[in-house]
Chains A and B, each alone.
Chain A
């Protein structure tokens, strides 16, 4: 809960906008008027807080990270404080009840300061008032009804197409109009009525100024939405469900009473781990060629999680730049302890050793059924995606690594000779040379064809088998970026990937936040007057008007299946009698 908006009615007003409010040109807009009359106002842009000191306790820092980042003037910078008495949201009155409270002095003070700062300019006022109205209506969204549909009187506050996606106003618009809160809530809550699964879940916000706020939690989807809109985090992460509300953790007598109980089993695959074998891009860049590494990883892991471990609800999510995340959401997966998570991660891990260990795959023979199945999947990709597209052994230095993975000294020597004479022989040819030379006597007499075949299998696996960031999977309390966040570097939304059509997924085609906001804008422009009046169309969530639609719908379908299973499980647990009726 962003405490500023709770039982203490704090509001934020932009300095310039406050000027428009006070200069007497024309009647103030409806909502502004109401606010000025009824609320204490907190000036905010330019980050100045007004505080009614008689009534309000000094804000206390919420988190040690904050205290360190902003030892001075923290409230001015990071808007991150907590009222000691506002910890338990259930007991506090709703914002609406406070609206009658009047305190004009704060408004006056604020206007005084702002007047001095920036003289009003006539032509900007009208615009400012409009912005202000829009903004207040959104901040004032007390009756928010779990839908992200905005109030019908709100003019769109969508920044121009040219705006950068990291711009806080872009993020604010994104959180106001596009983020699928309802679906996210159902996903984490597993039913319609808010319960501990959602309420005791840790969220960690990364704010635009890189302050990292851990242990956030929310009583409902509405309040979650409010904090997102107010703080416009550049991204947020999802952690475990705790035994008590994470916001209350410091009030507990025994620290041990605060412990993580459950979380989805998660996997993180990042392209950096492929840097030594991908030739097309490096660092943060990706292209369709190297994206095939992710396709391979998804295929291999998805089938293993389903067939071997029996999980059914696996959500694959594009991480926004160059990797993918998996969230295994089955109840049994959420309840795994660290040791069990570790065992699954280790089962799925095949590549061993750091950069200095030489051969990274040393699979036992005969292959374990999981590895055998993976090899069958990966072999198809190896020819096209690796040999053809990546051409990993074109350079001599890389070819030397290939040689170091082969068993027979004589064979290695003959290959070396052959490749030395024709430089820049393609990987495809080099790969074929291995068998050709071996069968035409290029190897020593004791070269075991079986050993060679196995070594070649290991090489295929080294170049294709998923490279997990296993540490992420091993711990119950590891945080992972939420689906549908915006990647701050690329502006792309972290959309789900349907594993059944993973071959068609193109990361470079994933919509960016600015593109989506432009589409909402365009929708209202195209719809014109008559349709804009159509209440049903207005009420539909804005993501339906954009390219985000198929992704949210896929996610909704995924969540529905999950919730259905969850309910069935509960019914079974409650005993057979209920089923009889």
Chain B
């Protein structure tokens, strides 16, 4: 079976005050097959968000490679990757456009994803209702709580009906009831619509809901002579 995502021996390094910070010392190698639901589990500062960025093409590893459907995309942008696998991403920090209303944000995302105009209204209505955003659809993101803005991102990503959903710490900023709804929703998406899910989390209980898990290790600090940056 061709993997939707495959990373081979990915290592990322950052310069830091304590020396060179190396994430994934032994390299991260993982495979996400079509219809898979993978959870990447790790503590704070262990490189979960960085791995999301590497998978999406927003950051480049120092070593290793990333493939989408057997195409090496290590040097390719997020847009190019989306051309190979229709991908939606939800980041840790809310990303809704501040000058557009909740509903307009969803419209923009769907039009960028090439969803036909007549389908957009229906999909947006469904997504807003599901995440309890229908009453604030004409509000601007800046006036909303962090949890509400998080839900806008989730609604936007799911309304696109992606083949691959990349989601960084999905329940951050969400209250208890929304958290309880979200993981079953992701499982339902994965099971019923075959959406491939790549999720990061710091919570072992959440990770256990996925089909597979990958555990990250804590980062290491290297002496300058061992660094790979600039090789």
Q: Do A and B bind each other?
A: no
Q: Which residues of A contact B (CB under 8 A)?
A: none
Q: Which residues of B contact A (CB under 8 A)?
A: none
